[in-house]
Amino acid sequence: MAAFLFSWSIATTPLAKQSQFVLHEKRNNRLLVSCDQNQTDSKISIENSDEKIERRNLLLGMGGLYGASNLLSVSPAFATPIAAPDFAKCSRGTNLNTGQPLDVNCCPPLSTEIIDYKLPPVTKMRFRPAAHLATEEYIAKFEKAVELMKSLPADDPRNFMQQANVHCAYCNLTYEQVGDSDLRIQIHNCWHFFPWHRWYLYFYERILGKLIGDHTFGLPFWNWDNPEGMVIPAMFSNSSSPLYNSRRNVNHLPPATADLAYSGKDAKHPSKIIPHNLTLMYREMIRHARHLEDFYGAKYSTGSKPNPGPGTVERGSHTAMHSWVGEATRTGEDMGNFYSSGRDTLFFGHHANVDRLWTVWQDLRGSKSKHFTDTDWLNTNFLFYDENAQLVRVKVADTLDNIKMGYDFQKVDIPWQKNKPKARVKKSKVASTSGAPSADSVFPVKLDKVVKVLVPRPKKSRSKKDKENEEELLTIEGIEVDTAEFVKFDVFVNDEDDDPYVLDKAEYAGCFSQLPHKNSSRVNTKIRLGLTELLEDLDCEDDEYILVTLVPKAGGEEITIGGIKIIYVS
């Protein structure tokens, strides 16, 4: 008997004929095909390391599975990237938690013509200024553009509310996955976070530029990672300006300093906000962002459930700023909720900075790999209306270089690069003296209180070469949350201070946070936190165990943790 082992799942492509299907890689799925000369039929068994593959994953198209002979004749290397949604099948739907109809409709206008978008030749660059450094002339131009956008007919896809609904539709489980109608598209908490938002801002910017007849117009970026720009920019705070939004937290209007560690409550130590902000940015952009998956987010393709895992910036400063700006209510409108955030013009200044950080991160990596080569990522495509109200199909592969897309950012200082957090206690013995239980004996657990566990290190006393070859990562898996709520928890390693409000120290490992959705559901996700540099800072690389402390900061009663372990990734 011969046995072949593949990693796979099956789906029809959007343009496939009835009898066509493709195979693609899918993490943790295994297809075992056994061919026995004494048997008339090949034996096929399908396993998943976490759960059995659902039947729909085998019958994703009209053609379905036509037998082992067809299976063995098709290469498992074919991919099934997320395909552009069918706008005709857009649905306001029902709340997945309550079963009640949603009270918001994000569906876009329909068009019978879709064009594959080609990036136009760059003749003049669009310039994106730091919002706090913008000139009066620029602000007047921006205000005029938004005013004109708001005055467009309500059914014009370039209208202000229609543009806000673009974000709502792609993040509120409005669109079916093409090839798997049982699943919905979600562009957050996965590897599509950066490229999708880059396209969104790209067309928003071009629409504004066309309305004022300035093809060099660029959106401003809210430079909240720099102390000079950590206040809501003045252009967004004028109540008589079209850039103003009344649904913001009144306690966070200027001159309040943006809190990148915001947990739904104002900082206990206001004087430490800026030091916290700078060390948080160092973690997100350097310490925890050495691997592509950790920075971008986890893989998400056709047949995958939404929210496989957010990247460092998305779950950290990005989410904190959304929540910090939004109303101080349970649902946080406008900026503090996914469905409504595009209704605040500050959203675009916020995400212009997120987009800038993607470029900064690429520059910091130098010659190292900066992008996935997986075609499930590169060939994913979306639909947007361009500045001419033409519906266009775009793909992730065209977002890899902002210069080729025709825009660049004003150069500003990046102080967080030198703000590596320092250890409060080196060579701590807290792991051996804490009396904390082992992780295996505790999980799964509801995070309605502080949880301390000992996590074994499979490898210790690693050499410099070992560290260069493999990053040591703390993986927190099976994070189940209700997406109707803002939730957050912090993670500490070997922390003797036991002060969960002091974050500018090496012992603070990072966080998980989630903005609320209008279309809520229970999701299961994960995060990974880099340990190699952290353990060097703590001088505990020879230890067999580390003490991990999970501190709920918001919505802990809605959070369940499935497990914690240490892995090594090359």
- Find the catalytic residue in 21, 24, 160, 167: 167
Q: 6-43: buried (b, 16+ CB within 10 Å) or exposed (e) per residue?
A: bebbbbbbeeeeeeebbbbbbeebebebeeeeeeeeee
Kindly tell me if the per-residue pLDDT of 73 is higher than 80.
Answer: no
188 is in an annotated binding site: yes
Question: 253: which 2 tokens?
Answer: 């209007």
**Per-residue confidence at 332, pLDDT binned at 50, 70, 90?**
very high
Query: Is 338 assigned a catalytic role?
Result: yes
Q: Is 318 a catalytic residue?
A: yes
Active-site position among 351, 443, 512, 517: 351
**Is residue 188 annotated as part of the catalytic site, yes or no?**
yes
Q: What is the pTM of this model?
A: 0.86
Helices (H), 438-531: 464-469
Could you tell me the pLDDT band of residue 173, with boundaries at 50, 70 and 90? Answer: confident
Q: pLDDT digits over 286-310, tens only?
A: 999 999 999 999 999 999 999 999 9
Annotation marks residue 351 as catalytic = yes
Angle at 349 between CA 554 and CA 235, to 5 degrees: 110
Identity of the residue numbered 406: G
Task: For 33-51, write each residue's pLDDT tens digit.
Answer: 333 333 333 332 323 333 3
Q: Does the pLDDT of residue 16 top 70, yes or no?
A: no
Q: Which of 132, 197, 252, 276 is catalytic?
A: 197
Catalytic residue among 142, 160, 236, 338: 338
Domains annotated on the chain, with CATH: 2-72 (no CATH), 87-418 (1.10.1280.10), 430-569 (2.60.120)
Number of Cβ atoms within 10 Å of the Cβ of 311: 27
| Burial annotation 224-259 (CB, 10 A radius, 16+ → b, else e) | bbbbebbbbbebbbeeebbbbbebbbeebeeebbbb
Predicted confidence (pLDDT) at residue 227 exceeds the cutoff of 60: yes
pLDDT in tens, 353-380: 999 999 999 999 998 999 999 999 999 9
Q: Which residues are CB-neighbours of 84 under 8 A, at least 6 positions away?
A: 14, 114, 178, 381, 382, 383, 393
Q: Is 167 annotated as a binding residue?
A: yes
pLDDT of amino acid 8: 35
Higher local confidence (pLDDT), 88 or 36: 88
Nearest alpha-carbon partner for 298 in 290, 289, 288, 308: 308
Q: What is the dihedral of CA 331, 334, 340, 345, to 10 degrees?
A: -160
Report CA-CA distances (Å) from 372 to 290, 292, 397, 404, 418. 13, 7, 10, 18, 27
Ligand-binding annotation for 252, yes or no, is no
Strand-pair category, 115-116 with 391-395: parallel
Partners of 127 in the beta sheet? Answer: 217, 408
Does 517 count as an annotated binding residue? no
Handedness of CA 299, 109, 384, 145 (dihedral sign): negative
Q: How confident is the model at residue 19 (pLDDT cuts 50, 70, 90)?
A: very low
> Which pLDDT value is given to residue 96?
61
**Can you give the pLDDT at residue 64?**
32
Tens digits of per-residue pLDDT, 249-279? Answer: 999 999 999 999 999 999 999 999 999 999 9
Among 24, 188, 192, 350, the active-site one is: 188
Q: Which residue reads 């998305």 in tokens?
A: 314
Tokens of 201: 């801002």
322 marked as binding residue = yes
Catalytic residue among 322, 347, 350, 486: 322
Strands of 508-514's sheet, edge to edge? Answer: 451-456, 545-554, 487-493, 508-514
Contact 130, 221 (CB under 8 A): yes
Residue 138 has pLDDT above 80, yes or no: yes
The answer on pLDDT for 31 being more than 70 is no
Six-digit token string for 351: 């995400």
Q: Token pair 């005013």 is at which residue? A: 147
Q: 132, 318, 350, 517: which one is catalytic?
A: 318
Report the amino acid identity of residue 302: T
Q: Is residue 318 marked as binding? A: yes
Name which of 12-26, 267-281, 316-330 the model is least confident about: 12-26
pLDDT tier at 521, thresholds 50, 70, 90: confident
